[in-house]
Amino acid sequence: MQTVSSITAMQRLAKKWQRAGEGIGLVPTMGYLHEGHLSLVREAHKRVGKHGHVVVSIYVNPTQFAPTEDFSKYPRDLKRDLKMLRECGVDVVFTPKDSEMYPDRSPVPTGYSTYVVEERLSQTMEGASRPTHFQGVTTVVAKLFNIVQPDVAVFGQKDFQQAAVIRRMVRDLDFPVRVIVAPTVREKDGLAMSSRNKYLEGDLRRQATILRRAIDMARAALKKSKRIPLARLKADVGAMIESEPDARLDYVEFFDPDSLVPVAEITSGVQIALAVFVGKTRLIDNERL
């Protein structure tokens, strides 16, 4: 397994593989890996085959964090990550520095000034709560696509809206990349795996399962009545979330999974997505009902 930090070196390696007709799979991450990430790596291996190559990027992208968010505290452990990826048979770990990805971001005429903006799918949910987030995500993913030159890129369903936005970017900007969305991996108690779960100490870890419990409650309610008024189910989910002493609902939305358009009535096949603060830790989850 190679570790590459230079953009030029990564592009050179990708072009070498392309000339040899060998497929490339990319798994973009911000590191502090867990089993959810490793499931994406295994999916990438499956998609490129035994003669293909899997690249995992580890980069905590500053442009997708607002100034009030946890960029400086985001968990990092490169040594641990490299060991896990080596055991998974990854070919290359791409670990660029900010100075390469965003040279001179200071507000001067010669500084970095090009960003990718998706204007429709990114406006609700995460986009409404974190207004600069998706501009950072689409920009860094577009850069990674140009650097790694993948045939396939694998993302997790836990970040459902993110995957939809990236798919739209790929379609609209004609990237020759197939986007694969792999299932959410959960702990035994139902909590979706996330690097931010590290923040959950003491009883906060138990309280965090309220996200999955709220999804299960919505599914059970739909099973009973087949159609439920939106306002009623939103109110029920909100009340359930805030029954935990340290949990606070940021949003809960019900929407069409293909268009991300909110629905007026809850029926089978609708997607639920929610964001919840548990203590100071903001967690997200989603599932199809």
- Identify the band that residue 106 occupies on the pLDDT scale cut at 50, 70 and 90: low
**Residues 156, 234, 249, 141: what is their CA dihedral angle, to the nearest 10 degrees?**
30
pLDDT at 30 over 80: yes
Paired sense of beta strands 265-266 and 228-229, if any:
antiparallel
Looking at residue 116, its amino acid is V
Query: For the chain, how are helix, strand and coil distributed in percent, rounded to 5?
Result: 40, 20, 40
Q: Average pLDDT of 9-35?
A: 98
Check if 2-182 and 195-288 are the same fold.
Answer: no
The CA distance from 15 to 40, in Å, is 23
* Residues marked as catalytic: 37
The CA distance from 25 to 96, in Å, is 18
pLDDT for res 228: 84
> What superfamily in CATH does domain 2-182 come from?
HUPs (3.40.50.620)
**Domain map of the chain by residue range?**
2-182, 195-288
Q: What is the pLDDT of residues 196-208, one digit of tens each?
A: 999 999 999 999 9
- In total, the chain counts a number of residues equal to 289
pLDDT for res 109: 62
Looking at residue 208, its amino acid is A
CATH classification code of 195-288: 3.30.1300.10
The CA distance from 116 to 118, in Å, is 7
pLDDT for res 104: 79
Q: Name the E strands within 196-264.
A: 228-229, 247-255
Under a CB-based contact definition with an 8 Å cutoff, are residues 22 and 51 in contact?
yes
The CA distance from 186 to 284, in Å, is 12
Q: What is the pLDDT of residues 79-104, one digit of tens each?
A: 999 999 999 999 999 999 999 999 97
Q: What is the pLDDT of residues 242-264, one digit of tens each?
A: 999 999 999 999 999 999 999 98
pLDDT for res 226: 74
pLDDT for res 229: 86
Spell out the long-range contacts of 37-42 with Cβ–Cβ below 8 A and sequence spacing 24 or more.
37/156, 38/84, 38/88, 39/156, 39/182, 39/183, 39/185, 40/154, 40/155, 40/156, 40/182, 41/85, 41/88, 41/90, 41/154, 42/88
Burial per residue of 167-186, b for 16 or more beta-carbon CB atoms within 10 angstroms, e otherwise: bbbbeeeebebebbbbebbb
Please give the structure tokens belonging to residue 234: 């939103």
pLDDT at 224 over 90: no
DSSP labels for 107-125?
SSTTS--------STTSST
pLDDT at 105 over 80: no
Under a CB-based contact definition with an 8 Å cutoff, are residues 185 and 149 in contact?
no
